[in-house]
Amino acid sequence: MDRGSESPLLDGGRSTRTKAVSWLRLSAALLVLTSIVVPAALWANRSHGALPGDGDGAGPCHCKASDMGDPPPGCITRSENSTYDGNPLVERFRRYLRIRTDHPEPNYCCAVAYLRGIAEDIGGLETMEVSYGKSTYKPFLIVTWRGTDPGLPSILLNSHTDVVQADPSNWRHDPFCAFMEENGDIFARGAQDCKDSGMHYLEAIRELKRKSFVPVRTIHVVYTPDEEIAGEEGFESFVASEQFRGMNVGVAIDEGGATPGDSFRVFRGEKAAWWLTITAFGKSCHGSVMLQNGAIENLIKSMNSIMAYRQTLLDLVAAGVDDSSVASISPTYLSAGVTTATGYVSNIQPEQASAGFDIRISPLAPEEGSDILNLIKTEWAPKERNMSYEFLQFGETEVVTVVDDSNPWWSLLKNAILESGHMLQEPLLASATSDSRNLRLRNISAFNFAAVSNTIDRVHGVDEYLNAGIYLAGVPVFENIIKAFSSFS
């Protein structure tokens, strides 16, 4: 999940229809024409090993059994006498965590092969691979549990298989060994974002089938590539496809977030993400010249203006304004200077200097977006000061899912969580973005939820972890949710 800060959402009401715009987006028609939709069984036959997921991968790529969760050479995987040693649910989770799906070269083939193997081991489920990669095969996995009434809108359980990079030298334990400490804490990239949810879905279905539960509505479990890099060839393309339209989705669960306390959090919407780069241009000359309005000086003027505006937003929150209705601006990178093989040159003034910002616009205060656009044009990157700007991502006002009694899906979700014995906070608005924004834009109720409490949120951070006991406790929560959603007629 592309995560920012999170904040409580004010009282619900009617959702607002809006649109999202991305500079990266291709036309939906082209994506449908170029997509690959092929049942997994047509690509390759796969032999099973001792654990579900062993064998050769499907699709136009190959995966060795050793790449599907076996500890890499040199990996230390657990402390002695760990409380959860040998627990099959924990071991399946840890194997998934070890599959290297980190960018820039995520191993999607092995992740999909492993998950498909688990689905086949459960039995009674259909699997299909779908790819929308233009030059590289980037497989989705769709696992389907058919309901008794296929005419009813279906249930979608979504998670992404890719994770962000992690530098092992900064971690307490190697982020790709899924080391488990004696108390059950599992350290791994993806433990919270969001391989936990992906495994929770399948383990909950396994348990429901063991109990002979039969769903009325069809359930689709979807494993998505490229969420961490904006999803142009991932979920964004998928929801524009005939494959998705044929699924007739009525409600969706997507990745959520860990909470440090006992209660769970549900997100019903997101702030729109604007990724802005501003660039100042100037004359290149010797560093000894007291040049006026050079590129770096020009950029500093803009930076000062942006940070002053940022302070007004911080002041609003400090004064008690709910930050779910306040925009946010964070500087993310600076680029300037002339370099050689030995580093920066101190006696040359550069021709240009750039800065990047992550801006989030609240759907509860879209007027702030208009104000910021005006400031970009007039103060932060005006042409008159020889400046330019570019949006790497530009989302206009987001849609929010209704969270009151007028939306039966919200009532079902809330009651299922409470009946599992857990407390629930008021619905939240996330500063992060996730794949679910694409569903809300199509007026599909979508809830971001993770059954993870009493856990420090370390998404995208060092020492991301999840305790095995907390993970196991999430399975019956998803059992309740899936049973409630799929029984609703």
* Residues with active-site annotation: 162, 227
- Quote the CA–CA distance of 251 and 439 in Å, as a whole number: 9
| Cross-strand partners of 142 | 128, 222
Amino acid of residue 207? E
- Bind-site residues for Zn(2+): 160, 193, 228, 255, 460
Q: Are strands 445-449 and 249-254 parallel, antiparallel or unpaired?
A: parallel
Residues in contact with 428: Cβ distance below 8 Å, sequence separation at least 6, in sequence order? 6, 7, 8, 9, 265, 266, 267, 268, 324
Residues in contact with 302: Cβ distance below 8 Å, sequence separation at least 6, in sequence order? 278, 280, 355, 379, 380, 381, 385, 387
Over the range 77-99, which residues count as b (16 or more CB within 10 Å of their CB) and which as e? bbbeebebeebebbbbbbbbbbb
- Bind-site residues: 160, 193, 228, 255, 460
Check: CB of residue 204 under 8 Å from CB of residue 219.
no
Greatest CA separation found in the chain? 80
| Beta strand extents in 293-398 (DSSP E only) | 328-336, 339-340, 343-344, 348-349, 352-361, 387-394
Residues in contact with 191: Cβ distance below 8 Å, sequence separation at least 6, in sequence order? 97, 178, 464, 465, 466
CA end-to-end span of the chain: 32
- Quote the CA–CA distance of 258 and 175 in Å, as a whole number: 18
Q: Are strands 36-38 and 126-131 parallel, antiparallel or unpaired?
A: antiparallel
- Quote the CA–CA distance of 394 and 396 in Å, as a whole number: 7
| Cross-strand partners of 6 | 430
Amino acid of residue 151? G
The encoded tokens of residue 469 equal 């006991």
- Quote the CA–CA distance of 415 and 34 in Å, as a whole number: 42
- Computed on alpha carbons and rounded to an integer, the radius of gyration of the chain in Å comes to 24
Phi, then psi, of 137 in degrees rounded to 5 = -70, 115
| Cross-strand partners of 253 | 157, 447
